[in-house]
Amino acid sequence: AREHAAHFAHPNATVDPPLLFEPPAPGSYELPPISWVEDHMLVAEDGGPAPLPGLGSAQVGVVSFIYRGCGDASGCPLALAVLRRLDRELAKWPELAAQVRLATVSFDPEHDTPERMSELRELMQPRGDWRFLTAASERALRPVMQDFGQDAVRLATAEGEPSALLRHVLKVFLVDGTGAVRNVYSAGFLDWRILLNDIRTVQAAR
């Protein structure tokens, strides 16, 4: 567990690798809806109810699913590092930042309690609207996972008992104020510069 936690102890990890292509200028391309998600009620880091995405009509959201026990540096820790950098960059664009919400959702509510998500908030030190959510139970989370198309399977121990590890594919979702998913980012495509351009593109088309 200590090894896993170490990945989350260094949020200043390098997240500026050379891009393999030159991203198009914001507003010079379109991001048509890929799918649609509904609002779901989850649990905020203070223990209160929190809607996801829960966006206003003029807002855009960046939703990532993680769990704090993840030991894969190219998985959940990468998502957190990229969102942290995006949060810092958005702070340079106050008018744009006011229209953006980041949401990090744990798909391991058994271990990632509101208290642990609050600890994660302290670690990330957000400058903008960045929410850290969990669920009352795995059963309560299931409709959210299905709606977004995010899978996570709990692995078994050598004795066949459920372990603390989950097998999952990293996904980050860009959602607009109507609930339309405008882009989905995997590990090889997750970059704060692409996210920022896409956010500006979606907002410019409103």
| pLDDT value of residue 5 | 39
80-113, pLDDT tens digit by residue?
999 999 999 999 999 999 999 999 999 999 999 9
Q: Look-up: residue for tokens 């008992």?
A: 161
Sign of CA dihedral 135, 137, 140, 141: positive
**Residue 199 CA to its chain's centroid (Å):** 14
Cα separation of 63 and 195, whole Å?
Answer: 11
Best CA proximity match to 202, nearest among 169, 185, 177, 184? 177
The b/e string for 52-90 (b: 16+ C-beta within 10 A; e otherwise) is: bbbbeeebbbbbbbbbbbbeeeebbbbbbbbbbbbbebb
Q: Measured between alpha carbons, how far is 166 from 70 in angstroms, rounded to an integer?
A: 8
DSSP one-letter code for 2: H
The mean predicted confidence, pLDDT, of the chain is 88
pTM passes above 0.85: yes
Looking at residue 2, what is its pLDDT? 34
pLDDT value for 160 = 66
pLDDT of amino acid 169: 80
Stretches where the chain sits below pLDDT 50 are 1-12
pLDDT tens-digit readout, 114-133: 999 999 999 999 999 999 99
Mode of pairing for the β-strands spanning 100-106 and 60-66 = parallel
Q: Following DSSP, what letter does each residue of 160-188 receive, concatenated?
A: S-EEEEEEE---EEEEETTSEEEEEE-GG
Cis preceding linkage at 53, omega within 30:
yes
Which amino acid belongs to residue 29? Answer: Y
Note the CATH architecture for domain 31-204: 3-Layer(aba) Sandwich (3.40)
Q: How far apart are CA 108 and CA 28, in angstroms?
A: 39
Give the C-alpha separation, 127 to 6, whole Å: 23
User: How much is the pLDDT for 156?
Assistant: 57
Instruction: Return the domain boundaries, the chain.
Output: 31-204
